[in-house]
Amino acid sequence: MHLNAIQIILILIVSFLAGMEGILDQFHFHQPVIACTLIGLVSGDLTPCLILGGSLEMMALGWANIGAAVAPDAALASVASAIILVLSGGQSQSSISSAIAIAVPLAVAGLLLTILVRTLATGIVHIMDSAAKEGNLRKIDFWQAIATCMQGLRIAIPAGLILMIGASPVKILLAMMPAWLTDGLSIGGGLVVAVGYAMVINMMASREVWPFFAIGFVLATIKDLTLIGLGAIGLALALLYLALSNNHGGSDSNSGGNANVGDPVGNLIDDY
């Protein structure tokens, strides 16, 4: 797919914002479902990029910085895989699965850029400490902006390099890939998504949530229900749960003091 100058500039802006939001975390441009959707919107490939972003989002929900361990870079994985998908003109499910599989090593490779930028930011922190001792607020703001822009360039520069390669080399590279490799990427992408779902379910699993998960899982199999219908049902169940939670109904005295206060659904499960 050929991108014009305006589309390239918009993609670079989205990439820059995604890099900054990886630190700011205010508007969530670094989240895969948002970054991929925005790139698909400006490039004209909204549907495949939205599917890609949703699949990567389920994986990224299980990524978190724990102590000194840095999580894979979801922003770079989202932006780079979406650009590769757009340049390759992939509209099929196999192309999306291949992009998902490519996103995983990209996310791991993004750790190197993250470590590099954070190492440079350490020096900037010392400069800002000196400015704070001097009482120079403008200097602190300046270096704060520099450090934030470094995070944006961490994603924008790789995105620009991928855009410079162009669509033809990407298509040639994909065409040169043997069938066993493309099939393996598709299978691996499906397995990665399944692992991402499993990680999310493992984090949210509780006695109070399982019934709602089961209801949603069954409703999702009904083909006549649209996403809007499922969203309305989910909202209704959430409001019903909040109404039950606010109504204690005297269940505390019937459970011997071991009841889940304010959670009659949990009490019913315990009694059962």
44 within a domain of the structure (yes/no): yes
CA atoms within 13 A on the CB side of 207: 12
Is residue 102 domain-shared with residue 221, that is, in the same domain? no
Q: For residue 192, is it within any domain?
A: no
What pLDDT was estimated at residue 146?
A: 92
Q: What is the pLDDT of residue 186?
A: 57
Asked whether residue 195 is domain-assigned, the answer is no
For residues 68 and 131, state if they share a domain. yes
**pTM of this structure:** 0.62
Does 164 lie in the same domain as 51? yes
Asked if 146 and 15 sit in the same domain, the reply is yes
pLDDT of amino acid 173: 61
Is 16 inside any structural domain? yes
State residue 206's pLDDT score. Answer: 72
* Domains identified in the chain, total number: 2
Same domain for 166 and 263, yes or no, is no
Please answer whether residues 94 and 30 qualify as being in contact, where contact means their C-beta atoms are separated by less than 8 angstroms: no
pLDDT score at 197? 65
- Is the same domain home to 97 and 227? no
Residue ending a domain, among 179, 197, 229, is 179
Cα–chain center distance at 223: 26
- Looking at the structure, tell me whether residues 55 and 159 fall in a common domain: yes
- In angstroms, the CA 7 to CA 44 distance is 9
190 falls within a domain: no
As a whole number of angstroms, the distance between CA 59 and CA 53 comes to 10
Are 153 and 73 in a shared domain?
yes
User: Based on the domain organization, do 52 and 122 belong to the same domain?
Assistant: yes
Token match 């999702």: residue? 220
Cβ neighbours of 204 (radius 10 Å):
12
Domain boundaries, position 253: 210-271
Shared domain for 165 and 260, answered yes or no, is: no
> Are residue 12 and residue 125 in the same domain, yes or no?
yes
Among 156, 179, 202, where does a domain finish?
A: 179
What tens digit of pLDDT does each residue of 223-234 get? 778 878 878 888
Asked if residue 37 and residue 166 are part of one domain, the reply reads: yes
Give a yes or no: residue 73 inside a domain: yes
pLDDT in tens, 188-202: 555 655 666 676 677
Q: Which residues of the chain have pLDDT under 70?
A: 1, 62-71, 90-91, 108-109, 166-175, 177, 181-197, 199-200, 203-205, 247-272
Residue 123 falls inside a structural domain: yes
Whether residue 72 lies inside any domain: the answer is: yes
Q: Give the pLDDT confidence score for residue 17 in this predicted structure.
A: 92
Choosing from 161, 179, 197, the residue where a domain stops is 179
